[in-house]
Structure 1
Amino acid sequence: MTALIAIAAVLSASLAIGLFAVRTSPTTPDFLIASRRILPTWNATAIAGEYISAASALGLAGLLWRNGVGAMWFGVGFTAGYVLIAQFTAGPMRRSGAYTVPDFAEFRLGSVRLRRFCGLVGALIALLYLIPQFKAAGVVLHAVSGLPYGVGVVASGVIVAASIVWGGIRSATYVQAFHYLVKIAFIALPGLFLWFSAGSRPDLDRPVDWGSVLLVADGAPSLWATVSVLAATTLGAVGLPHVIMRFHASPGARSARRVAVGVVLLLGLFYLFPAVYGLLARVNVTDSADADLVVLELAQALDPSGVVLALAAAGGFAAFLSTSSGLLVALGSSLSHDLFNVSVRRLRLGVAAGCALAVALAVPTSSVDINVLVGWAFSLAAATFCPLLVLGIWWKGLTAAGASSGMAAGALSILASAALATAASVPPWIAYPALWAAPLSFAVMIAVSRRTALPARAEDTVLFLHLPKDSATT
């Protein structure tokens, strides 16, 4: 009962904060990028809140409990991606004046057809990332209340859509900044309490088995899986559509880079705590537990009063809500603005339709690990949008045909690997394909671009992206 009250409080506060911004989103720029008026501190906190998903708050601790400390490479990659964003894409993307990746593709390469293809890819990435968030909401509500899994998924979808559909990215900003503070308070503080009060803690002074620091694949430590996960999470962060939209909400290119640096610091702080839960669970939770619920089972095992369970459940639910908010804006944008360049009314319909689709797909996926689906979303972003953005910003020779061909090669590689890995036991190079799929996408883009005509004013466009000063008009 205590856990339900804590979750209800987070839900009520989130809905109230989201609806507060309804009156401030009357136009497309307001809805998608808050008219570029989000201050760096708010934006960095909101991005951190949005980025710390259910996969981070719940799934990462479960992976560490099941597979060992090698699972923490996910957290390393999740954070390191923002170093690349700060270095290579944040400033130029902000200068482009685009709202979304498809907007940038049309601005840089002058192709409406490429814009629509990017819209479809962005929708697929957002769906792959959004489905496990709704799954997390369903399993958490079932664990603390006994409600059927499907009821939790549908109810969560309705609440998130209601808080975002009217206020857009401004609503999401306030909600996600609030959620980062909730997650730090409700995940970190209980984690520290459990660590110092637990009767059984892992022995951190014993000699290190270096094989154990690798990610486990097919029951054994795998260097390929480890490096490929790092490639997927690091490069994938550069190409996540809901993250990219965030940087366009900054007042200028310099503030966009400052936001990226702030996110690295905030994420580095948070990712200390899934490790605490995972390590404690390895000595306090039975092998029969559900990996996605190991944080809750640990809290229940070590604190019979239920207070820590309530806080951990509310923190996990905040992780679901904050990531879902940004993903819904990105998904709604892909289904409406990026494909048809429509009005705010249609954008809101796109958000509602995207939420309904994600909920419908989440209901039958209760048996799939959260981190598995999130890993495919990152891999797809690494093999599609990341090459498009990096080459589009830093190489004047990119063409629309090259970009389309490279993205198609990367997307087909990732989707085929995902289908094979879901259907049968496969070797690590198929189960973790980002290490070869992302370079393949880069190579195809370069090869095809060298054989096709450059877009008009390609050199001027690239130079514009690297202007030394922020422009008040971008």
Structure 2
Amino acid sequence: MSLTAIISLVAIVLVAVASAVIGSVVHRTRLTSDFLVASRSVPSRLNAGAISGEYLSAASFLGIAGLILVQGVDALWYAVGYTAGYLFLLLLVAAPLRRSGAYTVPDFTDARLASPPLRRVCTAVVILICWLYLLPQIQGAGLTLGIITGLPDWIGSAAAGVIVVATVALGGMRSVTFVQAFQYWFKLTALTVPVIIGLAVWFGDSHTFARDEPPEFREPTTVSVETPVTLEAPRSVDVTVRGTVDGQPVDGPVSWTAGSAHRVATGTELSFAAGEPVPVTSGAPTDDESWLRPFTGSEQHQLLATYSLILATFLGTMGLPHVLGRFYTNSDGRAARRSAVVVLAMLGSFYVLVTLMGVLSRVYTPQLLVTGRTDAAVLLLPTAILGSGLVGSLVAGLVAAGAWAAFLSTASGLLVSLASVVSTDVLPGKGGLARRFPVATVLAGLPPTVVALVPTGLNFAEAVVLVFAVAASTFCPLLVLGIWWRGLTDVGAIAGVVVGGVTSAGAVTAAISGLQAYLPVATGGWVEVLLYRPAIVSVPLAFLTMVAVSGITRTRRPADAGQVLLRLHAPERLGLMRDRLDDRG
């Protein structure tokens, strides 16, 4: 095992141990409110750190930099959308949601519409969203361990799953809050150090992107293609191939002409000399100048995909159960708003660093454009810049540990939300909720851990956007209309959640499983685009369904709807806010 692998492995173990120690030091979990909402006593700044820690996931730490490496400025919408989502949450949801006194999303719907069927539907949606979101987190842990040690990815995925389940089961929300706040600052540090070093080296190299040239290999490079990929050669390139290209076995040097595209099979090794132009995956910008301009790739319907991406990320945040659960921990609505404002600043700082990592990766790790494993850009960048000596290995270890902090913090928040719903709405109500919570954690965390052992092949940021589409199509309409429109009925809410959920989740299933290949549509057509970006259809459809069905069933409007809305919007000093679940469980 190399020096880099040893140091990175030690760093990962240390950050896991530090997280466990912090969680155990503040472990005073005895009551129901301790497990679910940390007794609603988390200060605004600490809560903002915890929110940022759990929100900045594998998609943010690894995925966005990888997308920027490939797509250039088009990928900036991911960072913008993830951050802007908190602005919409701040304006529309944060304070009223806290004033509802709820512990979970299903509990809020019960407070607003008092409908057991709606509560059951929302419970199912929470489980679906959390499981879909947990998959890329656990797989990201496996990828990180595999990249730095060469071990199979499933070992890291299994280890991460066990650590997260144990942490949440023992401590609940109270312990996880302090751990996630620590992990945010650790992640920020893990990106700041390599960015400062990388920019210093880059400016010394005098590299510019204002050129009509593709990136070049800085040294002789051999890459192994791990997933089937179609490569486009922007210029003539000489490559030594050992494997299968365009369906034919090749063992020796070949020349790819400018503008040609070649299908490279899994397991194929490609060797390039220093100074050779880097082939890029099909549809991506081929030269640095076009990489800096929007919509310059060859993929079809890019504008449609971008609009749908914006809608999913802007509105999906307010539908994520683990994000909403954080605002239940504030003492009141004003504290919830303050937390959201601080989060905006924290997220902005983080995404600036991630963007710079993607830019530096274009220069120092261009071989990832060939392999298609662009999620590894952040992990490989330190040694690509500094070499594999002691300094480069130390920085690489810091980044690897930061990546694991990202996975653990987000997975912990998701599992808290998932276990909260399972313990209150799925398991029998015997023995007290505080006793059911650890059991619910194990039951909720086991399925996604097992499924995560099988790779999906999706970029982490792409996978998370699919989850955002489901959240934006279900809980976003439910919360916005439930908080701001007294005309919402339980039947309308159920219809909207089901329609939005089936539409978006069906598209997600087709995209992840590869079923779109069997649909009677042309490759790259607008139907295929909407399978990966369903929000532009599913979100308006969910809103319209809720409004239309609520209008038809207006006789089912709760008699106390006006009183409930008054409690959601009235200032705290009037004393109308109350909790819905006492400490007896």
Do they superpose with TM above 0.5? Answer: yes
User: Which digits, 9 at most, give the CA deviation of each residue in 1:291-344, with x for residues without a partner?
Assistant: 111111222211212122111111111111110110010111232223357412
Bigger drift between 427-436 and 77-86 goes to 427-436
Checking the alignment, whether the CA contact within 8 Å between 2:115 and 2:490 is kept in structure 1 is yes
In structure 1, what residue type is equivalent to 2:179?
Answer: V
- Larger Rg computed on CA atoms: 2
Q: Is the contact made by 2:427 and 2:440 (CA closer than 8 Å) also made in structure 1?
A: no
Q: How far apart, in 2, do the equivalents of 1:81 and 1:94 lie?
A: 18
Comparing 208-217 and 392-401, the one that deviates more: 208-217
Structure 1 residues 465 and 85 mapped into 2: Cα distance closer, same or farther (>3 Å)? same
- Is 1:15 aligned to residue 20 of structure 2? yes
2:504 maps to which residue?
414
Work out whether residues 209 and 289 of structure 2, in 8 Å CA contact, stay in contact via their aligned partners in 1: no
Q: Does the 8 A contact of 1:73 with 1:215 survive in 2?
A: no
CA separation of 1:392/1:216 partners in 2, compared to 1, >3 Å: closer, same or farther?
farther
Tell me which residue corresponds to 1:326.
413
Please report how far the alpha carbon of residue 428 of structure 1 lies from its aligned counterpart in structure 2 after TM superposition.
1.9
Give the letter for the 1:288 counterpart: V
For residues 46-78 of structure 1, the C-alpha deviation after alignment (integer angstroms, 9 at most, x for no partner) is 101110101100011011112222111111010
Could you tell me how far apart the structure 1 residues matched to 2:29 and 2:349 are?
32
Q: Distance in 2 between matches of 1:446 and 1:377?
A: 24
Matched, 1:434 2:535: yes
Paired position in structure 1 for 2:357: 277
SS at match of 2:167: helix
Deviation at 1:352, TM superposition (A): 1.2
Q: Distance in 2 between matches of 1:410 and 1:142?
A: 37
1:227 pairs, out of 302, 307, 310, with: 307
| Cα pair 2:138 2:452 within 8 Å, conserved | yes
- Answer whether contact 1:214 1:223 (CA < 8 A) is retained: no
Range with bigger deviation, 371-380 or 44-53: 371-380
What SS does the corresponding residue of 2:453 show, helix, strand or coil? helix
Query: 1:450 and 1:339, CA in 2 relative to 1: closer, same or farther beyond 3 A?
Result: farther
Helix, strand or coil at the partner of 2:454: helix
Query: Which residue of structure 2 lines up, in the alignment, with residue 349 of structure 1?
Result: 439
Residues 1:456 and 2:559 are matched in the alignment: yes
Instruction: Please give the per-residue CA displacement for 1:343-386, whole angstroms capped at 9, x wherever unaligned.
Output: 12222111112221111110112533212221111110000000
Q: 1:266 aligns with which of 308, 328, 346?
A: 346
Query: Closer, same or farther in 2 for the Cα pair 1:465/1:210, shift >3 Å?
Result: farther
Matched residue of 1:318: which SS? helix
Question: Which ranges of structure 1 fall in alignment gaps of 5 or more residues?
Answer: none
Contact 1:103 1:338 in 2 (8 A): no
**Partner residue of 1:385 out of 475, 483, 501:** 475
Structure in which a larger fraction of residues adopt helix:
1
> Cα distance, 1:219 vs. partner?
2.7
Task: State whether residues 303 and 309 of structure 1, in contact with CA within 8 Å, keep that contact through their aligned partners in structure 2.
Answer: no
Distance 1:202 1:71, change over 3 A: farther
Q: Distance in 2 between matches of 1:405 and 1:214?
A: 38
User: Who is 2:11 aligned against?
Assistant: 6
Aligned ranges for residues 229-308 of structure 1 at < 5 Å? 229-285=309-365, 286=367, 287-289=369-371, 290-304=373-387, 305=389, 306-308=393-395
Task: Specify the alignment match of 1:128 in structure 2.
Answer: 132
Quick one: which of 182, 185, 202 aligns to 2:186? 182
Alpha-carbon distance, 1:216 to partner: 8.0
The one-letter code sitting in structure 2 at the alignment partner of 1:325 is S
Offset from partner CA, 1:246-295 (integer Å, 9 cap, x none): 00100110000010001001000100011111111112221224111111
1:464 partner letter: R
Q: Which residue is 1:336 aligned to?
A: 423
User: How far apart are the structure 1 equivalents of 2:359 and 2:298?
Assistant: 21
1:82 to 53, 71, 86: 86
Number of the residue aligned with 2:278: none
Does 2:453 match 1:370?
no
Task: Give the whole-Å Cα distance in 2 for the aligned partners of 1:205 and 1:90.
Answer: 43
* Distance of 2:200 and 2:543 partners within structure 1: 48
Amino acid paired to 2:304: W
What is the alpha-carbon distance in structure 2 between the residues aligned to residue 467 and residue 15 of structure 1?
A: 40
Aligned residue type for 1:146: G
- Counterpart of 2:74 (choices 66, 70, 77) is 70
Equivalent residue number for residue 107 of structure 1: 111
For 1:256 and 1:341, how far apart are their aligned partners in 2? 32
The alpha carbon displacement at 1:218 in A equals 6.9
Contact 2:422 2:444 in 1 (8 A): yes
What's the CA shift for 1:407?
0.5
Deviation at 1:3, TM superposition (A): 0.9
**Stretch of structure 1 that moved more, 234-243 or 331-340:** 331-340
Match status 1:466 vs 2:546: no
Q: Secondary structure at the match of 1:364?
A: coil
Distance 1:316 1:112, change over 3 A: same
| Percent identity of equivalent pairs | 42
* Count of residue pairs brought into register by the alignment: 473
Is the partner of 2:486 in helix, strand or coil? coil
C-alpha separation in 2, matches of 1:455 and 1:209? 58
Q: Which moves more between the two structures, 162-171 or 419-428?
A: 419-428
Q: Is the 8 A contact 1:115 1:339 kept in 2?
A: no
CA distance, structure 1, for counterparts of residue 17 and residue 109 of structure 2: 38
Q: Which moved more, 1:283-292 or 1:74-83?
A: 283-292
The change in CA–CA distance for 1:189 and 1:381 in structure 2 (over 3 A counts) is: same
Equivalent position amino acid for 2:150 in 1: G
Distance 2:495 2:18 in 1: 45
Partners of 2:496 and 2:542 within 8 A in 1: yes
Gaps in structure 2 of 5+ consecutive residues = 1-5, 213-287, 518-522, 580-585
Structure 1 CA distance for aligned equivalents of residues 496 and 89 of structure 2: 21
Note if contact 1:201-1:283 (Cα within 8 Å) is conserved in structure 2: no
Alignment of structure 1 residues 188-199 onto 2, 5 Å: 188-198=192-202
Q: CA RMSD in A?
A: 2.0
